[in-house]
Amino acid sequence: MPLSLMNKRILVVGLGKSGLSVVRYLVREGARVTVSDVKKEVDLEPGTVTEMRALGVTLETGGHTMDTFLRSERIIVSPGVPLNLAPLAAAKERGIPVTGEMDLATQIMNTPIVAVTGTNGKSTVTAFLGALLQNAGHRVFVGGNLGTPLIEYAAGGSTADVAVVEVSSFQLDTMEAFSPLVALLLNISPDHLDRYPNYEAYVQSKLKIFKNQGAGDFAILNDDDDILSSFAPPKDVSVLRYGLKKKDLRQAFVEGKRNQSRFAGQGKPFL
């Protein structure tokens, strides 16, 4: 998907793994990049600082200044950065777009996405789904919050049949364009409450994985989860529910020593 970044003043907040990947991509595309990090320069990896200098990036360390944020045309926030920072709030009030690395990646790629989130088990399920698809003969990228940032795949020129990505609640908080073909939400239980004002805010963050889905997309939900059993994704999204026991409107369950799947009235057992 075309995205013009030439000479755009773009601020990357946070110089972690995904932040570094974003900076490299933006510089390659001709953007005028500034990085702001709360760490002092002496506390950053020496190789990272050297690379930023070589790339011609403006580096702000030891804290965030309001002017740096307000002079930007776009802000890319790393997952570990709290979104309640005063400079971020001021930038949003000015109408400056604030997004994340994974959201940027989806704007420059066409590969269908299978997105996995949940409080527990998302890394295991992401790796398993990737291996399953690879063993079926598909070309698969596996990454996101697990391993390689999605922007590295999107910017790298590689092509896959599908991208299987782990997505954290922090990444979902900055999603605007992100719209996976398949969104799998495993479970929701209290977590990261030091980052969110309350449990409901954390729940809404997880549910955002379905926000941009529509006709032709799939939502897979753990029907044994109290929240997800009563949750309805957007209209026209195909909903598939699973749980331990057989139940109406549940497409996958355990019966005896077999897993059972049924779609459109059909049943298909598998070991």
SS3 sequence, 41-104?
Answer: HHHCCHHHHHHHHHHCCEEEECCCCHHHHHCCCEEEECCCCCCCCHHHHHHHHCCCCEEEHHHH
Among 70, 100, 107, 110, CA closest to 88? 70
29 contacts 18 by C-beta, under 8 angstroms: no
- Which residues participate in catalysis according to the annotation? 122, 145, 192
Among 153, 1, 161, 165, CA closest to 79? 165
Distance of alpha carbon 65 from the chain centroid: 27
